[in-house]
A and B are shown apart, each in its own frame.
Chain A
Amino acid sequence: MKTLHKLAILADAAKYDASCASSGSIKRDSKKGKGIGSTSGGMGICHSYTPDGRCVSLLKILLTNFCIYDCSYCINRSSSDVQRARFSVEEIVNLTLDFYKRNYIEGLFLSSGIIQSSDYTMEQLVSVAKTLRKTHDFRGYIHLKTIPDASPELLQQAGLYADRLSINIELPSKKSLKQYAPEKDPSTIHQSMTQLKDHIDESKESRTQKKSAVTVTRRSGEKKKSLVYSPAGQSTQMIVGADESSDKKILTLSHYLYNKYSMRRVYYSAFSPIPDASAVLPIKSPPLMREHRLYQADWLLRFYGFNVNEISENNSANDGMLDLEIDPKLAWAINHREFFPVNINTATREDLLRVPGIGAIGASRIIQSRNFRRLRYQDLKKIGVSVSKVSAFIETQDHTPKQLDSQYLRQSFVKQENQQLSLFN
C-alpha cells in the first residue's frame, strides 16, 4: 500500500480525537541543533482549519487502525469492517519531517490501535518519538497517546521524548466503560494517570531545583542534569453522548481529573456517527451543542471560581444537564438574581467574573480603568465589554437594570443567542 493511501486511512481513523493542541510545552528552537523545529512555550499555532471549524495544528494519525480490542464506540474496533492499514516507524518519521518543513504542522500527535500486545504497540509509538528526537534532532511538538496497560518502563520512556502524554478516560462512568469497552480496565487507566503525574511532577521539581542550584553546582563542579518529562503535562478525553451520563456526572469527573492528576485539559468529544457503527450505540448526529456547553462549563470550573453544583443545577428539569439554549454562566445568573445587580465601580474581581458577558480580560480592564475614574455605562462598550449581555446584571451611576426581575429574562437571551449561533452554522 502506498503512503498516500495509508495516510488517508490512518488520518480518517484519528479524526475522532478532539485534541489537536500543541500548547503548554517549554520554549525550544533549533538554532544550535542539527534538525528543525521550535515551540513557543505558550500557545501552539493552528496551521489550517477544516470545514468543521477545527484547528489543524498537528499531524494527527494512527500508527495502525488494526486493533485487537472491540470498543463499541470506536471505528477501529476489531468487529468493524473498516479498511485497515499500518505505517512503519520510518514512514511516520518522514511524513512528520516533510510536513514540518513546509510549515503545515507544529508536530505529531500519534496514537494507535492495539496490535499484538499493549507493550508491543507502545514500543512502536515510543520508537517513532525517539527516532524523531534522537536521529533527526526534531524540536517540534510531539503528543503521544499512551496505551494504559503498557509497562511502567515504557510509560517512563515515552515522556522523555514527548511534549505531552494522554490517556483517554473514554467514558464518564466505570459502568459505561465496562459495557462499551469491556477489555479496558478503569483501574489501570487511573494507575497509569497517577504514574504520569508522578513523573511530570518530579521533572518539574528537578527543573526548578536546577535553577536555584546553579550556584551550588558551580561550586561543587559537578553537572546536575534536570530531567524533562512530558513538559506540557497530560490530558485526557471523554466521549459525550454515547452513554446516559448526565453533564453533572461528566463535570464531576472532570473536576476530579483536574485535581487528582493535574490534567492540563479534559477534552469532550461529541459521540459522532461513524461508518459501520456498532448496533449497541445510538445513531444520531453528534451533540455538538452539548459539547460546546461542556467546554464553557469546564472553563467556569477552572478559571471563574464556580463549582460543579452551581453550574449543573440551573435547568428547570433539574436533571443535571446543562441548559443547551443559553451558556452556563448566564443560566446561573438567571437562577441567582439575588446576586445582582453587580456594581461596576465597586465590585470585586471575583464578583465581576460572575457577570454574564464579562470575561477575564473584561474584568481586568474594568478594574484598571476605574482606578482613574468612575466608569459610566457607555465606557463599557469602549473597553470591549458586550453591553447587550451585561446590561441586565450591572449597575453604574447612570444605569440600573430594568429587566432583572422580568419573567421573560431567559427568553430574551435565548433569542439573542439563537441569532448569534446562526451566524456560526
Chain B
Amino acid sequence: MVNIQVETYKQWRTQARELLYRQIPPEDVHWQVDQQSNLLFSEDDTDFLELPIKQKTISIPKAFLELAKPVCHHRDNSRWGLLYSIAWRLVFEDKHLLNFDIDPQIAKAMSMRKSIGRDIHKMEAFVRFRKTPCASSPEKDYFIAWFEPEHYIVPLVVSFFTRRFSNMHWSILTPDRCLHWDTKQAWQTEGVTRPEGLHDELEELWKAYYKNIFNPARLKLKAMQSEMPKKYWVNLPEAPLIGELTRQSMFRTEKMMTNTSSEINNRKLKLK
C-alpha cells in the first residue's frame, strides 16, 4: 500500500504522474486526507519513489486535466482517489474514456465539477461586501464580506473579484481560507470564524430596493428557492424580508384586483 497526502491540484498531479510511471494501480494507493490517518498506516509506509519506473512515457488528455483541476477543490475526500483511478484507466485501459458520460466514475467526476461550478457561481453572486472604516487609514474605505462556500473554492474566485473590484480594498472571509486585496495584490490567509458586528448603513437602501422590485402578483416562492437556497440566506441582508413579502402578497394582489381605479372614482365623483 502506498500512502500519499496531497492538498492541491499541483501536488496531486505530480504524485499521480510518479505513480503512473511506476504502474502502481489505484487499489494500491491510499490517499490520505488528514494527519490522523497517517498514524494508522505509518508502519508499512514505504517511499514509492524508490520503486522502479516501468512506463517511460504517459500521455494524459488535456481534457482530463481540465476536469481534474476544479474537482480537486471539491469537499468530498474521495476526490483524489477518484481522479487517480480515472487517470489510470485513461492511460492503461481506454484513452477515450472521457467520452463515456455513462461511466460511473466519469459521471461522478462530471457531477463534482458541476457542483464546483455552481458553488463558484453562487459565491460570485451572493458575497455581500460591507463598508467598514479602515483602522490604519480612516480616509480609505475598506470592504469586508463573510461567506461560507460549499467547497474549497476560494482560489477559484480570485480572478473574478480582483478584476471586478480592482480599485477597492477588501477582504472576503470564509471558514476555510480568506482572500484579501489592496488594489495591487491579492493574498490568502487561513480561515476564520464568523466575524461579529458587520453592518453597513447602505443595506437599508438595498432592502428598500428588494422590497419594491418584487411584484406580489407573480409570487413563485419555489422558483426563488431553487435558485437561492435557504443555506445562503444567513449572509444575505435582504433575506429576512422574504417571509413578510410573501405573507403580504396575496393581500396586496387582491387589493389591486378589487380596487376601482381613480378614473372610475373620478367619474363617479363628477356624476355626483
Contacts and interface: CB of A to CB of B under 8 A. Distances in A.
B256 A48 contact: no
A16 B215 contact: yes
B56 interface: no
A383 B253 contact: no
A46 interface: yes
Interface stretch (A153-161, A180-188, A276-284): A276-284
Contact of A286 (B167, B205, B218, B262): B218
B212 A7 contact: yes
Contact of A29 (B166, B219, B221, B259): B166
A43 B40 CA distance: 48
Given A52-B218, A288-B218, A423-B222, A101 B206 contact: no
Contacts of B263: 79, 278-279
Contacts of B227: 46, 49, 53, 55
A104 B127 CA distance: 8
B208 A277 contact: no
Interface string A381-425: 011100000000000000000000000000000000000000111
Given A50-B210, A372-B99, A103 B245 contact: no
A318 interface: no
A34 B167 CA distance: 7
Interface string A50-66: 11111110011100000
A74 to B, nearest CB: 13
Given A102-B130, A372-B99, A52 B224 contact: yes
A275 B205 contact: no
Nearest to A30: B166
Interface stretch (A164-172, A195-203, A363-371): A363-371
B163 A47 contact: no
Interface stretch (B84-92, B100-108, B187-195): B100-108
Contact of A15 (B101, B167, B202, B214): B214
Contact of B166 (A31, A276, A368, A382): A31
Interface residues of A, number: 70
A383 B236 CA distance: 35
Given A4-B205, A36-B165, A285 B257 contact: yes
B21 interface: no
Given A8-B211, A16-B215, A276 B167 contact: no
A370 to B, nearest CB: 10
Given A7-B209, A273-B257, A425 B101 contact: no
A306 interface: no
B151 to A, nearest CB: 18
B261 A51 contact: no
B219 to A, nearest CB: 6
Contacts of A56: 210, 213
Majority secondary structure of chain A interface residues (helix, strand, loop or mixed): loop
B148 to A, nearest CB: 16
Contact of B167 (A16, A33, A54): A33
Given A45-B124, A48-B238, A98-B202, A424 B220 contact: yes
A8 B99 contact: no
Given A4-B205, A372-B96, A284 B257 contact: yes
A178 B213 CA distance: 29
A55 B96 CA distance: 40
Contacts of A341: none
Contact of B224 (A51, A95, A273, A423): A51
A47 B126 contact: yes
Interface in A1-53: 3-4, 7-9, 11-12, 14-16, 29-31, 33-38, 45-53
Contacts, number: 193
A358 B222 CA distance: 24
B131 A50 contact: no
B228 A48 contact: yes
Interface in A93-141: 95, 98-99, 101-104
Given A277-B261, A279-B261, A45 B125 contact: yes
A11 B143 contact: no
A150 to B, nearest CB: 26
Contact of A279 (B99, B124, B264): B264
B223 interface: yes
Nearest to B206: A104
A50 B213 contact: yes
A4 B204 CA distance: 8
Given A12-B212, A103-B127, A273 B236 contact: no
A80 interface: yes
Interface string A304-336: 000000000000000000000000000000000
A27 to B, nearest CB: 9
Contact of A35 (B167, B202, B216, B222): B167
A101 B224 contact: no
B217 interface: yes
Interface of B: 96, 99-102, 107, 121, 124-131, 143, 145, 160, 162-168, 200, 202, 204-206, 208-224, 226-228, 236, 238, 242, 245-246, 249, 253, 255-257, 259-264
20 contacts: A4-B205, A30-B166, A45-B125, A48-B238, A49-B224, A49-B227, A49-B228, A51-B224, A52-B219, A99-B209, A102-B129, A275-B256, A275-B259, A279-B260, A279-B261, A283-B257, A286-B217, A369-B101, A371-B99, A372-B96
Interface of A: 3-4, 7-9, 11-12, 14-16, 29-31, 33-38, 45-56, 59-61, 79-81, 95, 98-99, 101-104, 270, 272-279, 283-286, 288, 365, 368-369, 371-372, 379, 382-384, 423-425
The 6 closest A-B pairs by CB, nearest first: A53-B223, A53-B220, A29-B163, A382-B102, A52-B218, A50-B214
